[in-house]
Structure 1
Amino acid sequence: MHTICCDIGNYSTLISTVTGRTASPILKMRSLVLNVTHNSEVREGVHNALNPLVVVNHKHYKLGRQAGLFHGHLSAAEAGKSRSDIALPLLLAATPQDFEGEVKLLVPRRDETSEKLLRSAIVGTHEFCVNGRDVIANFTSVNFYEETKSAAKFAFESGAIAPNDVCLCVDIGGGTFNATVCAYDDDIFNTRFYKSYPNSGGIALAKAISNTDVVKSFRKAVDTSKILDAITESKTYIGNRPDYSFAEVFDDCVDTWFDALLTRVLSDVEEHLDEVTQIIWCGGGAELIQDRLTQTGQTVLENPQYANINALIHFSKTPHLVAVA
Structure 2
Amino acid sequence: MTATETRRTKAAIKEPAPASLSTRTLALDAGNYDLKFWDGNTHPRAIRSIRYQLPQGRDAVRYLDTSPLIELADTTRYHFGTQAYKYRRQQQTVIENKAELARLHLYACLEPWDGSSEFSLNLHVSTPEPSRTEQALRSQLMGIHEFKRNGTPFRVTVDRVSVEREGMGAYCYAQRLGLIPDNGYTVVIDIGGGTWLTRLVDAEGDVINENVMDRGGTYELATSISFDKRLADALGTTADPGIVMDGFKSAHAYADTGLSWSLWLEEYLDPWFRGIFQTVKAQYTPYMSRVTRFLVTGGGSHLITERLAGRKLFAMIPDPQFANVRGLYPLPEGLQLCMTTR
**TM-score interval, smaller chain:** 0.7 to 0.9
RMSD: 2.0
After superposition, what is the alpha-carbon deviation per residue over 1:255-296, rounded to whole angstroms, capped at 9, x for unaligned?
A: 111011111111111111111112221112111111110133
- The separation in 1 between residues aligned to 2:205 and 2:252, in whole angstroms, is 41
Q: In structure 2, what is the equivalent of residue 287 of structure 1?
A: 302
Alignment-mate amino acid for residue 32 of structure 1: I
- The separation in 2 between residues aligned to 1:127 and 1:306, in whole angstroms, is 28
Match of 1:248 among 259, 263, 268: 263
Q: What aligned pairs does 1:166-185 form with structure 2 within 5 A after superposition?
A: 166-184=185-203
Q: In structure 1, what is the equivalent of residue 323 of structure 2?
A: 307
Q: Write out the 4+ residue segments of structure 1 that deviate beyond 4 Å after TM superposition.
A: none
Structure 1: 5+ residue stretches without partners = none
Q: What aligned pairs does 1:171-320 form with structure 2 within 5 A after superposition?
A: 171-184=190-203, 188-217=204-233, 218-233=235-250, 235-242=251-258, 244-297=259-312, 298-313=314-329, 316-319=330-333
Q: What aligned pairs does 1:1-325 form with structure 2 within 5 A after superposition?
A: 2-17=24-39, 22-23=40-41, 25-42=43-60, 46-58=62-74, 59-84=76-101, 87-95=102-110, 96=112, 97-112=117-132, 114-184=133-203, 188-217=204-233, 218-233=235-250, 235-242=251-258, 244-297=259-312, 298-313=314-329, 316-319=330-333
Indicate if the aligned counterparts of 1:210 and 1:227 stay in contact, CA closer than 8 A: yes
Q: 1:108 to 1:232 in 2, by over 3 A?
A: farther
Q: Secondary structure at the match of 1:199?
A: coil
- Cα offset for 1:111? 4.2
Indicate if the aligned counterparts of 2:35 and 2:109 stay in contact, CA closer than 8 A: no
Alignment-mate amino acid for residue 100 of structure 2: R
Indicate if the aligned counterparts of 2:168 and 2:327 stay in contact, CA closer than 8 A: no
- Cα offset for 1:37? 3.8
- Cα offset for 1:239? 0.5
Q: 1:57 to 1:37 in 2, by over 3 A?
A: farther
- Cα offset for 1:165? 3.6
- The separation in 1 between residues aligned to 2:88 and 2:176, in whole angstroms, is 45
- Cα offset for 1:116? 3.3
Structure number having the greater strand percentage: 1
**Superposition TM-score, scaled by structure 2 size:** 0.83
Q: 1:121 to 1:182 in 2, by over 3 A?
A: closer
Q: Secondary structure at the match of 1:99?
A: strand
Indicate if the aligned counterparts of 1:37 and 1:61 stay in contact, CA closer than 8 A: no
Indicate if the aligned counterparts of 2:169 and 2:326 stay in contact, CA closer than 8 A: no
Indicate if the aligned counterparts of 1:172 and 1:282 stay in contact, CA closer than 8 A: yes
Q: In structure 1, what is the equivalent of residue 15 of structure 2?
A: none
- The separation in 1 between residues aligned to 2:292 and 2:160, in whole angstroms, is 38
- The separation in 1 between residues aligned to 2:280 and 2:227, in whole angstroms, is 24
Alignment-mate amino acid for residue 14 of structure 1: K
- The separation in 2 between residues aligned to 1:34 and 1:88, in whole angstroms, is 15
- Cα offset for 1:204? 1.2
After superposition, what is the alpha-carbon deviation per residue over 1:188-230, rounded to whole angstroms, capped at 9, x for unaligned?
A: 3222221111121111110111122223323023221011011
Q: 1:74 to 1:101 in 2, by over 3 A?
A: same
Indicate if the aligned counterparts of 2:72 and 2:147 stay in contact, CA closer than 8 A: yes
Equivalent pairs counted in the alignment come to 305
Indicate if the aligned counterparts of 2:118 and 2:155 stay in contact, CA closer than 8 A: yes
**Superposition TM-score, scaled by structure 1 size:** 0.87
